Amino acid sequence: MLVLYHGGTSTASAKVRLALAEKGLAFESRLLDLRRFEQKSADYLALNPAGVVPTLVHDGAAIGESSIILEYVDETWPQPQLMPTDPAGRARLRLWLRRVDDLHEACSILSSSVKLAALRDDAGAVEMLLARTPDPDKRARQQRLIEQGFDAPEVAAAIDAYRTFCGDAEDALARSAFLSGAAIGLADCAALPYLHRAAVLGMDALWAQTPALSGWIERMMAQPSFDIAIAKWQGAQAYHASAELAARIRA
Ligand SMILES: N[C@@H](CCC(=O)N[C@@H](CS)C(=O)NCC(=O)O)C(=O)O
């Protein structure tokens, strides 16, 4: 049996849902409410000591870390293949998995900056949010984002990280239809949720000048797996576009 502990709008979870959808694999869904810290419950921590989603449970083994899960899925259910067969292609794909893992922090910062901007004038909500954030580094970052808004230094750094990622993706996609070659692969499943989140936050000017990347985003969003793995899970708490963030991207 295949069980996925995941979050509806979680980008790391969406990576895994996309790969499962590309493989045509169904899973038993255990949707955690991250705002209620269900990922920090004792039962879940026993499966994933980091207290983050996703976790895939298969044949009694609990596997965390979305990029590791992607490779596990491809090794366990090899068809259709989502990794190139040649070592150089596999290395290229793994580099993209690493790049996407590195982009995760920038994505969280930008997502939080938009969420917190909406709360800035609601002292009660801010207090509640900070009280419910146990990690001191994360709490300090939230406080900076509340106080400085989009002027917080981490917002500029996160935008730069996205710009670099998009530029490098454009170079790769100008050479091949998908990130690791001619066919859709794990790297594409990993990257799409982060670009989809950027689009939702109003950052699509990032790929206004990059035709290969914008074509890839369009094609990936037209795949049946996009609806199955991303659109269907967005729900009422989905993120929203920020005109202020959009303006910073265009600047
Ligand atoms: N490197 C991890 C990152 C997982 C992660 O940070 N997941 C987020 C959702 S996208 C999460 O669980 N956040 C809740 C928390 O940090 O408490 C992976 O790729 O699996």
Q: Is a pLDDT exceeding 80 seen at residue 155?
A: yes
For 53-66, the pLDDT digits (tens) are 999 999 999 999 99
- Sheet of strand 28-31: strand arrangement: 28-31, 2-6, 55-58, 61-64
Which residues are CB-neighbours of 187 under 8 A, at least 6 positions away? 92, 93, 96, 97, 100, 178, 179, 180
Q: Which of 24, 15, 21 is nearest to 190 (CA)?
A: 15
Measuring from atom 9 of ligand 1, which residue has the nearest CA?
10
What pLDDT is attached to residue 134? 80
Alpha helices in 6-86 (DSSP H): 11-23, 42-47, 66-76
Give the pTM: 0.96
Query: Cα(102) to centroid of ligand 1, in Å?
Result: 12
How many Å apart are CA 39 and CA 13, to the nearest integer? 13
Interatomic CA distance for residues 236 and 66, integer angstroms: 24
Q: Is the pLDDT of residue 125 over 90?
A: no
Rounded to whole angstroms, the Cα distance separating 157 from 10 reads: 21
Residue of the CA atom closest to atom 16 of ligand 1: 52
For the domain made up of 87-250, give the CATH fold.
Glutathione S-transferase Yfyf (Class Pi); Chain A, domain 2 (1.20.1050)
CA atoms lying within 13 Å on the CB side of residue 75: 8
Is the pLDDT at 237 greater than 80? The verdict is no
The string of pLDDT tens digits covering residues 109-119 is 999 999 998 88
Protein fold of 2-76: Glutaredoxin (3.40.30)
Mutate to test the pocket of ligand 1, among 104, 110, 233 (most ligand atoms within 8 A of CB): 104
- The full set of domain ranges for the chain reads 2-76, 87-250
Q: In this predicted structure, what is the pLDDT of residue 24?
A: 98
User: What pLDDT score was predicted for residue 135?
Assistant: 87
The pLDDT of residue 207 is 98
